[in-house]
């Protein structure tokens, strides 16, 4: 059965050895972030902080919930040791039939309600995550919920939120094509009325997974979440705005974004592993209400050098790109977005080559929903496992022609937090793209293709079988 809330998910992570409770007091000011960062870099269990300095007992922090593939498998109620390639295929299979949410009259997120002057976001242990961040960030692992002005389309995204003061938060929408940015831009052009926005923190894991995954314009991520869970999401209406939020959320922030209003936001240590975006004027959310569960859990991510919570993008982007390529009929077997590549690199394995297949593959990915943040693509033959970075690196240096195999494109679109972009490129969101063709040329004769000298390629099957049998006798 799918999890109803993040508490059930944490309990399963603890059972599988993927989460640990920290009973000793931890400081919200950098210390919690430092412990999360170390946990992510060392592949340790997710810390669940039980006591936060300056805050009463019961106000807790939890992070790194998706910083390993095992945790993604657990989130989807699969065996914890399922390989990512199988998780990708299961994710694609489940999301085919959308399931609409259901509205319920009450939920745990309404156990405590504060409206208007009673709102104080500083009552929560909002962390200062990295040294050098522009402020305390309350939204790093959550849902940002908005609705289109003149349709029923509801968007669930994950946009970072910096705390300005007790009732105001900032928001980064890194590119005008982002769905919330497009919704907000439409409102700024068509009306002077503020845009309702809700932030749901501490929700069951599939919801956050869907919030990180771009869906087509007009498709509501809540319907996708229902499909993946095999059960509709339970939503409850907000107190002060016309939106519905997950009924089992730990914390819900209701507010509105006024047209043409900006406040400085950033910098912040982003998933690329660098401070990204600098300090720039960004839209502002004025908080009208806050509701939360008793003993609320503020979920967070400590973004930085991979691998961390954005590891979930390896799953969702691998799946969405594989779907896009299959829909075009391209002979592709597997797609991987290695988390070590900060989700800016795609590796694609092809079954059957034809002239310029690498070019076709690259342009399909760049035209897909996640293509804006994928400037680098490696295309390999099917005998290379795109999930094995050792095999990918070997193919890159041995099969990619240093001149003919590297194809570059200048002055393409990019997001504002791209680390290698110059100041001018940041300002105008200009980037570049490249693909590496690591497949053997289509016009080569079979005799021209070098034979790989690996265990599976350089020895007959019967020799492999006999060698393995003797090998195991000695405990290997």
Q: What is the pLDDT of residue 176?
A: 60
Q: What is the pLDDT of residue 165?
A: 96
Tens digits of residue pLDDT in 345-380: 999 999 988 888 999 999 999 887 666 778 899 999
Average pLDDT value for residue range 174-194: 76
Cα angle: 159, vertex 275, 27; to 5 degrees:
80
Q: What is the pLDDT of residue 430?
A: 83
State whether residue 334 is helix, strand or coil. Answer: strand
Which residues, including other chains, have CB under 8 Å from residue 454's CB and lie 6 or more apart?
A: none
Q: What is the pLDDT of residue 228?
A: 93
Identify the CATH assignment for 6-300 out of 3.40.630.30, 3.30.1360.70, 2.30.110.10, 3.40.50.920.
2.30.110.10
Tens digits of residue pLDDT in 157-173: 988 999 999 999 999 87
CATH superfamily of 328-448: UbiD C-terminal domain-like (3.40.1670.10)
Q: What are phi and psi of 332, to 5 degrees?
A: -105, 135
Q: How do beta strands 430-438 and 406-413 pair?
A: antiparallel
Q: How far apart are CA 143 and CA 160, in angstroms?
A: 10
Ramachandran category for residue 349: left, alpha or beta (phi over 0 → left; psi -120 to 50 → alpha): beta
Write out the DSSP string of 383-436: TS-TT-HHHHHHHHHHHS-TTTTEEEEEEEE--TT-TT--HHHHHHTEEEEEEE
Average pLDDT value for residue range 222-250: 96
Provide the sign of the torsion angle of the four alpha carbons 372, 377, 379, 383, taken in this order.
Answer: negative
Tens digits of residue pLDDT in 278-329: 788 999 999 999 999 999 999 999 887 777 777 777 788 888 889 889 999 9
Spell out the domain ranges in the chain.
Answer: 6-300, 328-448
DSSP label at residue 261: -
Q: What is the pLDDT of residue 399?
A: 93
Q: How confident is the model at residue 409 (pLDDT cuts 50, 70, 90)?
A: very high
Q: Of the ranges 228-237, 319-328, 335-344, 440-449, which is most confident?
A: 228-237
Residue 175 has pLDDT above 70, yes or no: no
Write out the DSSP string of 150-215: TSS-EEEE---EEEEETTEEE----STTSHHHHHHHHHHHH-SSPEEEEEEES--HHHHHHHTSPP
CA distances from 272 to 141, 303, 306, 373 (A): 16, 8, 8, 11
Q: What is the pLDDT of residue 443?
A: 85
Residue 82 has pLDDT above 70, yes or no: yes
Q: What are phi and psi of 368, to 5 degrees?
A: -85, 180
Q: What is the pLDDT of residue 105?
A: 92
Q: How far apart are CA 49 and CA 151, in angstroms?
A: 41
Residue 400 has pLDDT above 90, yes or no: yes
Q: Of the ranges 178-187, 360-369, 420-429, which is most confident?
A: 360-369
The answer to whether the 6-300 and 328-448 domains have the same CATH topology is no
């Amino acid at each position: 059965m799918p999890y109803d809330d993040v508490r059930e998910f944490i309990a399963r992570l603890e059972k599988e050895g993927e989460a640990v409770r920290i009973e000793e007091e931890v400081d919200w000011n950098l210390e919690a972030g430092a412990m999360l960062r170390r946990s992510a870099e060392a592949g340790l269990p997710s810390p669940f902080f039980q006591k936060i300095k300056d805050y009463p007992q019961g106000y807790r922090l939890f992070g790194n919930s998706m910083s390993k593939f095992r945790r993604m498998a657990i989130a989807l109620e699969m065996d914890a040791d399922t390989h990512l390639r199988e998780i990708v295929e299961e994710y694609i299979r489940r999301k085919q039939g959308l399931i609409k949410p259901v509205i319920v009259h009450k939920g745990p997120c309404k156990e405590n309600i504060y409206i208007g002057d009673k709102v104080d976001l500083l009552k929560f242990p909002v962390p200062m995550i990295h040294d050098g961040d522009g402020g305390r960030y309350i939204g790093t692992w959550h849902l940002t919920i908005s609705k289109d002005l003149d349709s029923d389309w509801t968007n669930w995204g994950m946009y970072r939120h910096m705390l300005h003061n007790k009732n105001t938060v900032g928001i980064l929408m890194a590119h005008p094509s982002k769905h919330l940015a497009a919704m907000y831009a439409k409102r700024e052009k068509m009306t002077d009325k503020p845009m309702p926005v809700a932030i749901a923190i501490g929700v069951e894991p599939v919801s956050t997974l869907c919030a990180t995954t771009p869906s087509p314009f007009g498709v509501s991520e809540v319907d996708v979440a229902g499909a993946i869970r095999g059960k509709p999401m339970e939503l409850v209406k907000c107190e002060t705005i016309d939106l519905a939020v997950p009924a089992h959320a730990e914390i819900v922030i209701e507010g509105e974004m006024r047209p043409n209003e900006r406040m400085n936001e950033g910098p912040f240590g982003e998933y690329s592993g660098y401070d990204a975006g600098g300090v720039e004027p960004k839209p502002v959310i004025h908080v009208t209400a806050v509701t939360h569960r008793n003993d609320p859990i503020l979920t967070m991510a400590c973004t930085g050098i991979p691998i961390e919570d954005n590891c979930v993008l390896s799953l969702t982007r691998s799946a969405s790109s594989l779907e896009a390529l299959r829909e075009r009929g391209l002979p592709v077997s597997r797609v991987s977005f290695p988390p070590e590549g900060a989700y800016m690199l795609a590796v694609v394995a092809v079954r059957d080559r034809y002239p310029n297949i690498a070019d076709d593959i690259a342009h399909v990915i760049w035209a897909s929903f996640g293509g804006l943040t994928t400037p680098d693509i490696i295309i390999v033959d099917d005998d290379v496992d795109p999930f094995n970075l050792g095999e990918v690196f070997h193919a890159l240096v041995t099969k990619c022609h240093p001149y003919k195999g590297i194809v570059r494109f200048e002055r393409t679109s990019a997001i504002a937090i791209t680390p290698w972009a110059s100041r001018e490129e940041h300002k105008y969101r200009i980037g570049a793209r490249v693909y590496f063709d690591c497949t053997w040329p289509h016009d080569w004769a079979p005799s021209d293709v070098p034979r790989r000298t690996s265990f599976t390629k350089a020895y007959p099957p019967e020799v492999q079988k006999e060698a393995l049998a003797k090998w195991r006798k000695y405990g290997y």
